[in-house]
Amino acid sequence: MCDLCVVGAGITGLNALFAASRYLGRDQKIVVVDRRPRVGGMWIDTYSYVRLHQPHPMFTAGNIAWTLGREPSYLATKDEVLGHLAHCMDEIKKRVTVDERYGWDLQSHEPFAGGVRITCRTPDGGTRVIQAKRLIKAYGVGVRPNDPLTVSSQRVRSVSPDTCDVRAGDISESATPVYIIGGGKTAMDTAHTLITSYPGREVNLVAGSGTFFSNRDKFFPTGRRRWFGSTLLSSMAVDMCRRFDGTNEQEIADWFRTTYGTWMTPRTGNFLLGVLSEAENTTIADGVHKVVMDHLVDIVDHDGAAEMVLRSGATKPVEGGSWIVNCTGYLARGDQPYEPYTSPDGAVLSLQTRSATMHLTSYMGYFMTHLMLLDQLRDVPLYEFDIQDMTNRHKAVLPYAMFALAQYNLGLMADAIPPKVFSECGLDYDRWYPWPRRTAGALRFMLTHRRDRPHLRDILDTVRDRCDVRCGPLDAGGATACAGAAG
């Protein structure tokens, strides 16, 4: 018997563990289960040249400080992130007893008189049962590695960032063109890596609808601009939500892109919270040979040559031996079934995108675990939001609805949990700014969040009714009381 079982040892699970360590003592036991071989979550599987989007200090568990010794603006590499996540686990284990079970895969769970009975498959194929007073399923976004695109042509080589490090191997030894399929952050990472590693090589971008990004220089400035002439992310979020009414996403997209964005494609139909600096954007724009604003359907062999077939019906020639790199989106590609964020008895907390309560699952791991261990999961009428379904149905509305969700639920939590919970949250991007500025931002939030609450609720209700997605508070039985969609 253990006091808590946490399934998932990525950034979401580590934030849940950090929060739990504020309530449980050394004489109490937490069992951590993860199907991967070590702590790190999706960072174990993702492509080797990935870097953090944001300055590294705010990517952590709770308020655990990095030991990297680099300037705060530094964008940590994959190995550095994995090292820090392992450090976070070590720090958490100084406060609470943690039994780590890697290679274990959750199979099922069911309530019993003393809590939750959890059945897992072990690495040797056996079955083990864990009995816990509480269970946290810290699945997070559920990112899965990208496979290469299946194409008909035999004259090209199809890979993905997760199967091919573009800095090494056959792709580095050849001089044939590269076609990056996708326009989001993975595509930008891949383009930037290729352009800086092989100056002059032909790199092309098949960008679909195009994407714009938050400008890192505006939200995470250096020097004097940390004090003057920049906007706290929390202030931007308040401004965005006051402008958004649940129906005017194009107006909000135009405003945000012009005020805070950066982009390198001629059209920008998508925004999924990615971050890019002006320098990165310029390097990519100057280095890309050709940008195709269309969606790839297939690459076929026709009249002795390879030919790209696009969704519009257009075709384009492709040089034999070219590399096709699948950088299409990672989000909402899974089949995670819906479940409410908590069970009717409050003994199970589910942190995933089908019943999201915040914009990032790391925040959910931190704040929702506090609510759970304060026995308030069922008492605070949080809105849950089906991000996976919304991504598939109405991607253009998604980012602005997510900001409204986070602002609304944070306001409810601020009235229910101790102030120390907020002060220990090292995930807060406002920590980039000097103490007087971030303190002023926190004070503004505390003075205005109740006043803004009706408008935020109206936004979420409008999005639910207009987009036919699950978005609303849970009822007493554990289902979303005012869901627009059954799926």
Q: Which residues contact 303 (CB under 8 A, 6 or more apart)?
A: none
- pLDDT of res. 376: 95
Judge: domain 157-212+263-326, CATH 3.40.50.720.
Answer: no
- Quote the pLDDT of residue 480: 63
- CATH T-level topology, domain 2-144+333-473: FAD/NAD(P)-binding domain (3.50.50)
What pLDDT is recorded for position 28?
95
What sign for the dihedral angle of Cα 473, 479, 484, 487? positive
**pLDDT number for residue 473:** 97
15-35 pLDDT, tens digit per residue, is 999 999 999 999 999 999 999
Half-sphere CA count of 22, side-chain side, radius 13 A: 21
The one-letter amino acid at 379: D
Task: Give yes or no for residue 332 having a pLDDT over 90.
Answer: no
Domain ranges of the chain: 2-144+333-473, 157-212+263-326
Across the strands, what pairs with 5? 31, 135
d(CA 152, CA 47): 25
Lowest mean pLDDT among 79-88, 323-332, 475-484: 475-484
Contact 89, 21 (CB under 8 A): no
Q: Say what the pLDDT of residue 267 is.
A: 94
For residues 206-227, give the mean pLDDT.
Answer: 96
pLDDT band at 256 (very low <50, low <70, confident <90, very high): very high
Region 236-256: mean pLDDT is: 97
Residue 170's alpha-carbon distances to 152, 167, 177, 322, in angstroms, are 21, 9, 13, 12
Please tell me the predicted confidence (pLDDT) of residue 336. Answer: 81
Using the Cα atoms of residue 157, residue 160, residue 166 and residue 170 in order, give the sign of their dihedral. Answer: negative
Q: What is the average per-residue pLDDT within 242-255?
A: 98
The span from the CA of 195 to the CA of 180, in Å, is 12
Q: For residue 333, what pLDDT band results from cuts at 50, 70 and 90? A: low
Strands 2-7 and 97-102: unpaired
Residue 6: strand, helix, or coil? strand
Site of tokens 């739990």: 20
- Model confidence over 442-456: pLDDT tens digits? 999 999 999 999 999
Q: What value does the mean pLDDT take over residues 253-276? A: 96
**What is the per-residue pLDDT for 331?**
62
pLDDT tens digits for 158-204?
Answer: 999 999 999 999 999 999 999 999 999 999 999 999 999 999 999 99
Distance of alpha carbon 368 from its chain centroid, rounded?
16
d(CA 142, CA 42): 8
Region at 223 (left for phi over 0; alpha for psi -120 to 50; beta for the rest): left
Average pLDDT over residues 150-156: 98
Nearest CA to 63 out of 428, 424, 364 is that of 424
Domains 2-144+333-473 and 157-212+263-326 share a fold: yes
- Among 53, 95, 128, CA closest to 360: 53
